[in-house]
Amino acid sequence: MFEQIHEQTLLLLPFGDIVHYLSGYTVILAAFAVMFLLLALVSLPERPIDIVFGTDGYYIKEIPVDIMKFQRFMALACGISTIGAITTGDIFNFTLFAIFIGILNIGIVAAVENKHVLDAAFSYGLVVMMATIPLFAGAATIIATCGTLSIGELVDTDATPLIAKLLILIGVFGEGMAPFYIGKTEITRAPGAPYILMIHVSSLLLFLRTIEIFLTV
Amino acid sequence: MTRIQRIADYLANIDNLPKIYATVSCLIFLICLCTIPLLNYHETQLYPKSFNPNSSLNPYDRGGFPFTEPAHIITQYPQYSPASGYVTAYLTPVSWFLANTTEHLGTTIVGHPGGILDEILYYTRGLDTIVEASIFFAAFAVASFLYRRSKK
């Protein structure tokens, strides 16, 4: 069943050997990413309100304009690289986009001036840097054994080694921070809703795309 | 505390996250190293690993003449890169001088002006190079933002 995903391409966008494609599955992911990209482009950041318990007092957290601009730039770049990771038809290019998403997630939270958030972002940054090793190792294993990196050709060889998939999976775990919800909750305490939420969206879509790749190749 | 509580307490500390991730990665790397002999090698390789040791341009000696006679560039999808091979043989005057005097020009791809324009790197797989440069750009943007903020 899943072998047909790659054959039913709705759109082919070749950049030399790296052919971007949209299948019936990834077009939904891409539409979701585009929707969130437009949302981050047009919306202003949230202004969280803390109510003092038992009184009428409250605080409004204002986001300074320079931090807002930086976060918006990083969120837009993260959305674009998410679209790239969703549509790419090449394993090595996919790993590069995954690493790009990890770096940009760090950038989104780096602008926040909150000690807890920055501590969590530092730990997450170490994980992101470590995750590049299994990602590149997985892509290198695939090019060394199968002789090609294109997903369309790997479907035909039908013998992608399991350990390469395992390495890419653990790498995407690190980049997308998926099993580390403890890190995520610390990070998303940061104010700045539409931009911070791009972290969730990009890692979620990266995972769904990884599932598609693993079921295809 | 029960054992599960102790594990949950350890996992709840954000400072332990890199340690846990590194341990899991190392275990997977160990499994992968043990299963390397079981991998089967496919004979249909896109980039054959052979070169001419007598050429000073090796391993980038792909023949051809710049802009007139295309060099031998291996592509996955030749229909998507129709102009491949026309630039690879071009050498700047400095590189041409080095190619004629030394034996090792091919190993210094970025060590001198011009160099060898590897079309696999810049044309048929050019998007990889763009994304790599974008990763550097994003990392430097984050670092410069943090540096400038620390100086305020």
pLDDT at A110: 82
Name the amino acid, one letter, at B99. A
| Cβ neighbours of A127 in B, within 8 Å | 17-18, 21
Q: Does the beta-carbon distance from A96 to B132 stay under 8 Å? A: yes
The most confident of the ranges A114-128, A203-217, B77-91 is: A203-217
pLDDT at B100: 85
C-alpha B58/C-alpha A193 separation (Å) is: 53
Q: Does the beta-carbon distance from A103 to B142 stay under 8 Å? A: yes
| Cβ neighbours of A163 in B, within 8 Å | 31-32, 35-36, 39
Mutant choice from A15, A17, A76, A173 vs B, greatest count of B C-beta within 10 A: A17
For A62-120, the pLDDT digits (tens) are 888 888 889 899 999 999 999 999 999 899 999 999 999 999 988 888 888 778 888 88
pLDDT at B108: 66
pLDDT at A50: 79
Q: Does the beta-carbon distance from B28 to A100 stay under 8 Å? A: no
C-alpha B144/C-alpha A156 separation (Å) is: 45
C-alpha B114/C-alpha B132 separation (Å) is: 20
Q: Does the beta-carbon distance from B41 to A107 stay under 8 Å? A: no
pLDDT at A83: 95
pLDDT at B49 over 80: no
Q: What integer is the mean pLDDT of A1-23?
A: 76
pLDDT at A2 over 50: no
Q: Does the beta-carbon distance from B125 to A18 stay under 8 Å? A: yes
pLDDT at B43 over 90: no
pLDDT at B41 over 90: no
pLDDT at A193 over 70: yes
Q: What integer is the mean pLDDT of A42-47?
A: 84
HEC string of chain B?
Answer: CCHHHHHHHHHHCHHHHHHHHHHHHHHHHHHHHHHHHHCCCCCCCCCCCCCCCCCCCCCCCCCCECCCECCCCCCCCHHHCCCCCCCCCCCCHHHHHHHHHCCCHHHCCCCCCCCCCCHHHHHHCHHHHHHHHHHHHHHHHHHHHHHHHHCC
pLDDT at A1: 42
For chain A, what is the domain count? 1
Q: How confident is the model at residue B150 (pLDDT cuts 50, 70, 90)?
A: confident
Distance to chain A for B62, nearest Cα, Å: 18
- Which residue segment(s) compose the domain that A64 sits in? 3-216
Query: A205 or B84: which carries more pLDDT confidence?
Result: A205
Q: What integer is the mean pLDDT of B15-38?
A: 91
pLDDT at A195 over 90: no
Q: Does the beta-carbon distance from B31 to A18 stay under 8 Å? A: no
Mutant choice from B10, B25, B36 vs A, greatest count of A C-beta within 10 A: B25
Q: How confident is the model at residue B76 (pLDDT cuts 50, 70, 90)?
A: confident
Q: Does the beta-carbon distance from A123 to B138 stay under 8 Å? A: no
Mutant choice from B120, B131, B132 vs A, greatest count of A C-beta within 10 A: B131
Distance to chain A for B132, nearest Cα, Å: 7
Q: How confident is the model at residue A171 (pLDDT cuts 50, 70, 90)?
A: very high
Q: How confident is the model at residue B113 (pLDDT cuts 50, 70, 90)?
A: low
Q: Does the beta-carbon distance from B145 to A110 stay under 8 Å? A: yes
Q: Is ipTM strictly over 0.90? A: no
* Burial bucket for residue B5 (CB in 10 Å: 0-12, 13-18, 19+): exposed
Backbone φ and ψ of A10, nearest 5°:
-90, -25
Contact status, residue A166 vs residue B32, Cβ threshold 8 Å: yes
Name the amino acid, one letter, at B40. N
Q: What integer is the mean pLDDT of B78-83?
A: 87
Percentage of chain A exceeding pLDDT 90: 35
- pTM of the model as a whole: 0.90
Mean pLDDT of all residues belonging to chain A? 85
Residues B87, B91, B92, B94: what is their CA dihedral angle, to the nearest 10 degrees? 160
- What residues have CB less than 8 Å from A25, skipping those under 6 apart? A5, A212
* Burial bucket for residue B37 (CB in 10 Å: 0-12, 13-18, 19+): exposed
Mutant choice from B34, B39, B87 vs A, greatest count of A C-beta within 10 A: B39
pLDDT at A68: 87
Residues in chain A: 217
pLDDT at A44 over 60: yes
Distance to chain A for B95, nearest Cα, Å: 27
- Pick from B17, B18, B77: CB nearest A17: B77
| Cβ neighbours of B31 in A, within 8 Å | 163, 166
